[in-house]
Amino acid sequence: MLNMANFISEGIDAFDIIGISVRTTNKDERSQKDIGELWARFMSEGVMEKIPGKESADIYCVYTDYETDFNGAYTTIIGCRVNTLEMIPEGMDGKTIPSSKYQVYKSSGEMPKALMETWKIIWDSDIYRAYTADFDLYGPDPVVKTYISVK
């Protein structure tokens, strides 16, 4: 369930992430298949344990390198925030998420259904998106926070 009262704006400094990635698109629900397979790989291959220099046990699902907007191709990276990109393991990718202002949405309830409902609200909204990097943050509590970069 998305709690509309939980919309907040937040400025975030640049940070680095290491994880595994896929290039995908929302056309024909391709992203659901691709990102679902990426999550399965992340879990089954123990990717989190292989990431050096993790700052926490939080998992980030980052959407970046947008071709145009949410209708075009983009890259999804599932991984962890790290203190450096100097040692990226083979088969993984590293990315600096730029400093930005974010609109933050909170989802709770049955996942991934609740998160998909949040994304539908975002896609249907008129927020002025920057399309630099957006991400879902999976922390220790059951609430998933979605950060949308805005201008």
Q: Is 51 exposed, middle or buried (0-12, 13-18, 19+ CB in 10 A)?
A: buried
Instruction: Give me the domains of the chain, ranges plus CATH numbers.
Output: 4-150 (3.20.80.10)
pLDDT classification of 5: cutoffs 50, 70, 90: very low
The pLDDT value recorded for residue 3 is 46
Q: How confident is the model at residue 8 (pLDDT cuts 50, 70, 90)?
A: low
Query: Do β-strands 59-64 and 133-138 pair in parallel, antiparallel, or remain unpaired?
Result: antiparallel
Confidence check: pLDDT of 120 > 70: yes
Q: How confident is the model at residue 111 (pLDDT cuts 50, 70, 90)?
A: confident
The predicted model scores a pTM of 0.91
- Once rounded to an integer, what is the mean pLDDT over residues 22-37? 93
Judged against a pLDDT cut of 50, whether residue 52 lies above it is answered with yes
